[in-house]
């Protein structure tokens, strides 16, 4: 998946980007279907079938025509959450973890189908597997777990001391004077992203550290729905999680030699949080090797509460230009 595709739709250039994002997350139920045994190759006589709950969602058009990985991730979270909510006997169960593999790029001009398999509904946890598909081919496979609210041990990492968001340059300020279609798309994202150490759109950072801090929140208010807030966190978590790798090596997104793509993505949701209020996304890269880079991140609310932890490995290749 493309890790830095803009969020604005080229077909809806004048549409409010937050309204557009909510529309993308508004999946349409398609009923249920059944498929054959997963272990048919090992047990051809098995008659056990599996039920899939189907959803469909539109894509956000991008100049590269490749679906933004964060979009597919967020829609997969929505599909799993809607499946859990579809059983009223389960009560309140919020997502607590997500583990996904990006398998192949998607077409940003085509809708995406989401097939949800119910792996288990226990007394405290529900587990769903989601397949995001286009034209019968899997784009992403994810497993998500949901939990009944429960008390327990409490501790958390400390939020780093960084300048407040109103003291950090906005994307518009970072891109001032740059007349380029991609820059226009970056300016119109649904999420306000402000990098404390300076954005890596066109200019590399002065210090080549494998870490950075990013303030972010949606450009408008979101509904009071924890599933939507979790989905938008997943969506925006894919924006900059690999940038610590780029910063360490003096690279920028506009470098024509760069070939980035998300490979896998995990999130752990520790506590409730809102993404239409400022979150600090602390990021670092402990390693890059084999054409891959690892990114780790923590999201803190403005009061220092640790909301979630993120891990992603991405393909980061730097090709020689002829």
Given the residues 9, 60, 75, 262, the one annotated as active site? 262
Rounded-to-integer distance, Cα 87 and Cα 290, Å: 44
Q: Is residue 47 helix, strand or coil?
A: coil
C-beta of residue 134 within 8 angstroms of C-beta of residue 75? no
Rounded-to-integer distance, Cα 240 and Cα 158, Å: 21
Rounded-to-integer distance, Cα 6 and Cα 123, Å: 40
User: Tokens 């407040």 appear where?
Assistant: 164
Q: Which residues contact 225 (CB under 8 A, 6 or more apart)?
A: none
Is 312 noted as a catalytic residue in this protein?
A: yes
Rounded-to-integer distance, Cα 90 and Cα 124, Å: 9
Q: Which residues contact 27 (CB under 8 A, 6 or more apart)?
A: 55, 56, 57, 75, 78, 79, 82, 114
Given the residues 5, 20, 238, 276, the one annotated as active site? 238
According to DSSP H, which parts of the chain are helical?
17-25, 69-85, 171-174, 181-187, 226-240, 243-248
Phi/psi region, residue 316 (left: phi>0; alpha: psi -120 to 50; beta: rest), is: beta
Environment class of residue 211 by beta-carbon count within 10 Å: exposed (0-12), middle (13-18) or buried (19+)? middle
Given the residues 3, 76, 126, 312, the one annotated as active site? 312
Angle at CA of residue 312, ends 235 and 274, nearest 5°: 35
Is 184 noted as a catalytic residue in this protein?
A: no
Is 262 noted as a catalytic residue in this protein?
A: yes
Q: Give catalytic residue positions.
A: 238, 262, 312
């Amino acid at each position: 998946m493309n890790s830095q595709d803009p969020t604005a739709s080229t077909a809806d250039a004048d549409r409010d980007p937050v309204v557009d994002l909510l529309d993308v997350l508004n999946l349409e139920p398609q009923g249920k279907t059944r498929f054959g045994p997963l272990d048919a190759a090992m047990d051809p006589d098995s008659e056990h079938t599996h039920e899939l709950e189907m959803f469909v969602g539109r894509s956000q058009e991008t100049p590269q025509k490749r679906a933004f990985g964060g979009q597919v991730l967020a829609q997969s979270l929505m599909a799993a959450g809607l499946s859990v909510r579809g059983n009223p006997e389960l009560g309140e169960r919020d997502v607590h973890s997500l583990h996904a593999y990006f398998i192949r790029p998607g077409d940003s001009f085509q809708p995406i189908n989401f097939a949800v398999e119910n792996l288990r509904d226990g007394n405290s946890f529900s587990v769903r597997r989601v397949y995001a598909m286009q034209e019968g081919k899997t784009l992403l496979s994810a497993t998500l777990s949901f939990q009944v609210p429960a008390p327990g041990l409490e501790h958390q990492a400390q939020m780093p001391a960084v300048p407040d968001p109103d003291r950090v340059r906005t994307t518009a300020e970072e891109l001032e004077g740059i007349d380029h279609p991609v820059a226009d798309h970056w300016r119109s994202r649904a999420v306000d992203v402000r990098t404390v150490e300076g954005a890596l759109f066109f200019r590399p950072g002065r210090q080549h550290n494998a870490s950075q801090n990013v303030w972010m929140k949606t450009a408008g208010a979101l509904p009071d729905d924890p599933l939507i807030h979790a989905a938008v966190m997943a969506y925006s978590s894919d924006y900059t999680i690999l940038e610590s790798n780029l910063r360490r090596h003096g690279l920028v997104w506009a470098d024509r030699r760069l070939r980035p793509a998300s490979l896998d993505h995990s999130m752990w949701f520790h506590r409730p949080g809102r993404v239409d209020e400022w979150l600090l996304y602390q990021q670092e890269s402990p390693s890059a090797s084999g054409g891959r880079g690892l990114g780790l991140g923590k999201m803190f609310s403005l009061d220092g509460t640790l909301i979630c932890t993120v891990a992603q490995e991405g393909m980061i290749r730097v090709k020689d230009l002829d």
